[in-house]
Chains A and B, each alone.
Chain A
Amino acid sequence: MSNFNSAITAQDITKSFGKLKAVDKVTLSIREGEIFGLIGPDGAGKTTLMRMLAGMLTPDSGDASICGRSSLKQHQQIKDDMAYMSQKFGLYQDLTVYENIRLYADLYDVSKKNMKEQINDLLDFSYMRPFRNRRAGKLSGGMKQKLQLICALVHKPKVLLLDEPTNGVDPVSRRDFWRILYNLSAEGVTILVSTAYLDEAERCSRIALMNNGRIITTGTPSSVIDESGIKIASVKTQDNQQNISKIRNLFPDSSIHIFGEKIRINTSDYQAASLKLNENLDGETEITQEKPMLEDIFMSLQSRSGSSEKLLSMVSEGIEKREGSSVITSSLTKRFGDFTAVNSIELDVKYGEIFGFLGPNGAGKSTTIKMLCGLLIPTSGNGSVGGFDISKNPEKIKENIGYMSQKFSLYEDLKIYENIDFYGGIYGLSGDKLKKRRDWALELSGLKERSREITANLAGGWRQRLALACSIIHSPSIVFLDEPTSGADPASRRLFWDIISSLAAEGVTVFVSTHYMEEAEYCNRLSMIFRGNMIAHGTPFELKEKYMDDKIVNISVEQPQTYIEELSKMEGMNDVALFGAGLHARTSDPDSVLNKINKYFSAKSVHADSKLIQPSMEDVFVSLIDQAEVADA
């Protein structure tokens, strides 16, 4: 790549909002045809940087360029070469898919002659043709994002700036979205994408890690991991819940969390760490060194507040310990007109359990949770929460549960402490008790010093912590969280799950829905729900064992997207899809397929590393949904 052209550049670009330096002297150079990932915690300055590159925001100093033209001085001209897709939904809900695309085509002066074919090409390319005449408002989350991308592509831009395009989108739709991005990149389109999903970051040709307005490191995902110097010690113990606090005391400065059946410790010296662990842990332990993931690098960016142990110990303050079943339902059903949103769901959740609810957007997760909270009356079937009937006694339930909705639940125009006081007040707290809980909530959300700020100023992760604190301010013993981590950065997500684990350890039922598949590993038990039906349930381990008849072959190869089509034609191959930086092949006949794959790559003299692996939760999810779709058809 000696004479590459830079499609996107930034030179010492800086932007401040008041005292806050949102972007601080950032210099970037992105090659033509690259997929470049921008990752970093909430409030790192990713959106501000993108907006300046797109010429939508004037930098305080420095300059940027798109295809050789200055974003600062020629921001009108660069619009022809570029498309920017913001986090906000920019489509007209009442127009059909076709009408939306048509509108953007007209806005960009696409010539009328080929417009129709061009739009049809785009619809085929994104598999959106069958939904051509559906109204945008009626599309699922993933399809809306795809439609937005198509609208951005209609004038054939050379550069795409995508700001968290897959936020809140389920894994199946995300795979599809990335397939489109790869194809565009193959056609020479340069893509700059910011994302909160680190498996997506691993698919980028290069990434930049951003924090506090600065770019900390740039490189290929693997070089960023290598250069970080981070080592991961992974420990398997008999009682992880109990041992984790012990380990946290041993390594007060490290980031430590439970992942699957293991505890992962972020350290710079593996040898010393494993010695220390061997000395201090009782019982049977198994310590191994694991390859760090991007998430581990990400976590190391933010030094954990030293009081996290204290924080977690106070989470469950004042909660009454209870035992037995907290949530029971039998054939719980909800219909809206002809549409069955939730179909005969059976649940039995115990106190002290983390119960995960997994499913794509629109599967019926929120509807079920709303019925359990007394916000929706079931069409048929029964249920009880905390011993109260959900149809007959919804108001009683409301006194005993905490609920955090998917929508924003704080008043932006109130100050932080006023939000806490309001929720405390409507839960009937007053005087000293309210004061005590207010301090507790501020501590839990980490906003003690900022309590007099207006809530609108808070960035994503903080808001979610505050919203959680407000929703459990009355110390409920059952908590419903509807996609609490949606859109939060990996560090906030992990803290969130630490809080959830601490609640459960004290006997609280935590009923949580998510579409982050790796988060399913944190749950004690799971239910997968698709088109209103429960298609699987059990522990994470059971789900992987019981529901997967197929085996998974992991293929690590450069440019994985180029092989998908040919590999999927292989005999015995059920599915091939992008996974992280490589491919996952699903097959019922692993031995012969593995053989064929190896032959295929050696015939092409491409270096590829294929091996049989344990399926990930995402593989289980996708395969179950495939099965369900086949059954539906």
Chain B
Amino acid sequence: MLLKLKAMLIKELKQMLRDPKMRMVVLGIPTIQMLVMSFAMTLDVKNINVTILDFDKSSTTYEIAHKMNSSGFFKIESYANSLDEVRGMLDNGEVRGAIVFEAGTQEKIYKGQKADVQVIADGTMSNDAGIIFSYMSSIISEYNMQNMFRLTGKADTPVEFTARALYNENLDSRFYYVPGIITMMILVTSILLTSIAIVREKEIGTIEQVMVTPIGKFEFIIGKTLPFFITGIITTTIMLTIAFLAFDIVVKGSIFTLGLVVSLNILSYLGLALLISSASYTQQQALLTAFFILMPFSLLSGFLFPIDNMPMPIQYLTYLDPMRWGFESITGVIIKGAGIRELSTQIQWQIGHAVFFLTFASFRFRKTME
């Protein structure tokens, strides 16, 4: 039993690591992609280009505009002279927002009357527009707060809002995205590489020769899976090292727990990929199937869109998505320092997925040719 498995393992590892292209795919691409994507993928809105249309041209409007500019969220690109000009700049995408101060703003404020400031935002990127509005309103209310006494003579504000974010004090999105991308890379590499593992031999024709030997079904399946499991763990380790070196992300929880959840995650992907591989006739078929699976897996994982916002039926559907549990448990360990007890639901689901897919794959694989 062990002899045959050993022969199979040696062969698989040699085949995988001998080909320079394969080495690049297995080890190089995940690390490069992780580096690039971690920098690129961020929802923090910074340096939004805005234009100011100031009909008042007073020291107050100047002060507010200056406050915006120095917040770091906005960058005043230009000063417009008319609404038409603002419209033009929004149309051609030069700016994504505009602030309009009506004439007499300063006078109204000094008189204690209410002055209106108009914020115009490009609504095509709905998310950005929302952020622009909320940033603006917080800047304005901060201004109000600071100048309350000077302007109205009243010293106290009725309610003051103070916020503190747990786990990620500075609300720095990399603490969310970097581990997220790591889980996504684990998904992509495990599924894509393994899905062609068996079907490749079918296409070349070598499988016929192997199936006529006394090698057992499980030896064959394990021989096909284990190399990808090993490389999966290695790439994950490399990615975590980069996360530490380039993004200052330290694993808060125990390395053992992290190892456990990553392994379970990889195993469930490998089982699924083997299932695809043994059901396909050509590498093309297998890869296409894998691609179709990758998309819903990552979209429904909760990484890109919060699961709580999804309609109930789809929320139940996400239970079947191994990446959901992988994402929750891996980010949980890295960022929150969660342990096995906190992650028991996720771990149970992952064990379920891994067992189900692997058993199903070995059940589906037959040593005959039909």
Q: How far is the CA of A421 from the CA of B219 in the complex (A)?
A: 16
* A98 CB–B CB distance under 8 Å: no
Which residues of chain B are within 8 angstroms of A398 by Cβ–Cβ distance? 212-214, 367
Distance of A373 from chain B, by nearest CB (Å): 5
A401 touches B212 (CB 8 A): yes
Known: A414-B15, A422-B10, A425-B7. A403 touches B212 (CB 8 A): yes
Query: Which residues of A are found within 8 Å of B166, using beta-carbon distances?
Result: none
Contacts of B370 in A (CB 8 A): 376-377
Q: Which residues of A contact B19 (CB under 8 A)?
A: 413
B124 on interface, CB distance cutoff 8 Å: no
Per-position binary interface string of chain B over residues 168-211, scored 1 when its CB falls under 8 Å from any chain A CB and 0 otherwise? 00000000000000000000000000000000000011101111
Is A484 positioned at the interface, with any CB of B under 8 Å from its CB? no
Residue tally, chain B, CB below 8 Å to A: 27
* CB of A239 closer than 8 Å to a CB of B: no
Chain B residues with CB under 8 Å of A394's CB are 367-368
**Would you give the shortest CB distance from B26 to chain A, in whole angstroms?**
15
Number of A residues, CB within 8 Å of B: 36
Q: Mark A23-48, 1 if CB is under 8 A from B, else 0.
A: 00000000000000000000000000
Within 202-246 of B, Cβ neighbours of A (below 8 Å) are at 204-206, 208-215, 219
Choose, from A112-120, A293-301, A426-434, the stretch at the interface. A426-434
Find chain B residues with CB under 8 A from A426 CB.
4, 7-8, 210, 213-215, 219
Distance in Å: Cβ of B356 to nearest Cβ of chain A: 26
Give the distance in Å from the alpha carbon of A595 to the alpha carbon of B144 in the complex: 124
User: Which B residues are CB-close (under 8 A) to A430?
Assistant: 3
Cβ contacts B1-29/A at 8 Å (1 or 0 each): 00110111011001100110000000000
Least CB distance from A125 to B in Å reads 34
Asked whether any CB of chain B lies closer than 8 Å to the CB of A409, the reply is yes
Bound complex: CA A414 to CA B368 (Å) = 25
Q: How far is the CB of A582 from chain B (nearest CB, A)?
A: 39
Q: Check: A411 CB closer than 8 A to any chain B CB.
A: yes
Q: Does chain A have a CB within 8 A of B165?
A: no
Chain A residues contacting B367 (CB-CB under 8 Å) are 374-375, 394-395, 398
Residue A310 interfacial (CB < 8 Å): no
Task: List A contacts of B7 (CB < 8 A).
Answer: 421-422, 424-426
- A407 CA to B6 CA in the complex, in Å? 25
Q: Are B205 and A409 in contact (CB under 8 A)?
A: yes
Whether A493 is near chain B, meaning CB under 8 Å from some CB there, is no
Pairwise interchain contact A407-B205, C-beta atoms closer than 8 A: yes
Say what secondary structure dominates the interface of chain B: helix
Q: Are B369 and A370 in contact (CB under 8 A)?
A: yes
Give A448 to B162 CA distance when docked, in angstroms. Answer: 80
Tell me the bound Cα distance from A401 to B368 in angstroms: 16
**A401 to B18 alpha-carbon distance, docked (Å):** 31
Q: Is A405 an interface residue when CB atoms closer than 8 A count as contact?
A: yes
Cα distance, A409 to B206, chains bound together (Å) = 4
Q: How many angstroms between the C-alpha atoms of A394 and B209 in the bound complex? A: 14
User: Which residues in B have their C-beta under 8 angstroms from that of A421?
Assistant: 7, 10
Docked pose: A560 CA to B177 CA in angstroms: 79
Residue of A409, A424, A470 touching B208 (CB-CB under 8 A): A409
CB contacts (< 8 Å) of B8 on chain A: these are 422, 425-426
A418 CB–B CB distance under 8 Å: yes
Say how far B143's CB is from chain A's closest CB, in angstroms: 68
**Interchain CA distance A372-B204 in the complex, whole Å:** 22
Are A403's CB and B209's CB within 8 A? Answer: yes
Residues of A close to B18: CB separation below 8 A = 413-414
> How many angstroms between the C-alpha atoms of A457 and B369 in the bound complex?
29
B204 partner residues in chain A, CB cutoff 8 A: 407-408, 412
Tell me how far the C-beta of A314 lies from the nearest C-beta in chain B, rounded to whole angstroms.
22
A148 at the interface (CB under 8 A from B): no
Once the chains bind, are B212 and A422 in contact (CB under 8 Å)? no
B212 and A428 contacting across the interface, CB-CB below 8 Å: no
Q: Is A471 an interface residue (CB 8 A)?
A: yes
A423 touching B213, Cβ below 8 Å: yes
B4 and A375 form a contact (CB under 8 A) = no
B210 neighbours in A (Cβ, 8 Å): 426
Specify which chain A residues have a CB less than 8 angstroms from the CB of B213 in the assembled complex: 398, 423, 426-427
Report yes or no: B206 in contact with A375, Cβ–Cβ below 8 A. Answer: no
A414 CA / B19 CA spacing, docked (Å): 10
Cα A471 to Cα B210 in complex, Å, equals 10
The answer, yes or no, to whether A363 is at the interface (CB within 8 Å) is: no
Q: Write the nearest CB–CB distance from A77 to chain B, whole angstroms.
A: 37
Q: Which residues of B contact A427 (CB under 8 A)?
A: 213-214
For B205, what are the chain A residues with a Cβ–Cβ distance below 8 Å? 405, 407-409
Instruction: Establish whether residues B368 and A374, one from each chain, have CB atoms under 8 Å apart when the complex forms.
Output: yes
* Cβ contact within 8 Å between A418 and B11: yes
Bound-state CA distance A471–B15 (Å) is 20
Complex contacts, A470 vs chain B, CB 8 Å: 209
Known: A409-B205, A425-B10. A395 touches B214 (CB 8 A): yes
Which chain B residues border A399 with CB–CB below 8 Å? 214
Contact partner of A405 among B208, B214, B215, B368, CB < 8 A?
A: B208
Q: Digitize A574-592: 1 where CB-to-B-CB distance is under 8 Å, 0 elsewhere.
A: 0000000000000000000
Q: Does A342 make an interface contact (CB < 8 A)?
A: no
Provide the bound-state CA to CA distance between A218 and B59, in Å. Answer: 103
**Closest Cβ–Cβ distance, residue A403 to chain B (whole Å):** 4
Q: Which residues of B sit under 8 angstroms from A428, Cβ to Cβ?
A: 3-4, 214
- Residues 138-156 of B, flagged 1 when their CB comes within 8 A of A and 0 if not, give 0000000000000000000
Cα A405 to Cα B8 in complex, Å, equals: 20
CA distance A532 to B18 in the complex (A): 43
The answer, yes or no, to whether A503 is at the interface (CB within 8 Å) is no
B237 vs chain A, min Cβ distance (A): 26
| With A376-B369, A377-B368, A409-B208 as contacts: A414 and B14 at CB distance below 8 Å | yes
**Complex Cα spacing A426 to B7, Å:** 6
Q: Is there a chain B Cβ closer than 8 Å to A150's Cβ?
A: no
Report B35-47 CB contacts with A as 1/0, cut-off 8 Å. Answer: 0000000000000
B contact set with A: CB distance below 8 Å:
3-4, 6-8, 10-11, 14-15, 18-19, 204-206, 208-215, 219, 367-370
A to B CB contacts below 8 Å, 17 in the list: A374-B368, A375-B212, A394-B368, A398-B213, A398-B214, A405-B205, A407-B205, A407-B206, A408-B205, A408-B206, A411-B11, A412-B204, A422-B10, A425-B3, A425-B8, A426-B4, A426-B210
Question: Nearest 4 CB-CB pairs, A to B?
Answer: A425-B7, A407-B205, A409-B209, A403-B212
20 more CB-based (< 8 A) A-B contacts, given A373-B212, A405-B205: A374-B212, A374-B367, A375-B367, A375-B369, A395-B214, A398-B212, A398-B214, A407-B204, A408-B205, A409-B206, A409-B209, A411-B15, A414-B15, A418-B10, A422-B8, A422-B11, A423-B209, A426-B8, A428-B3, A428-B214
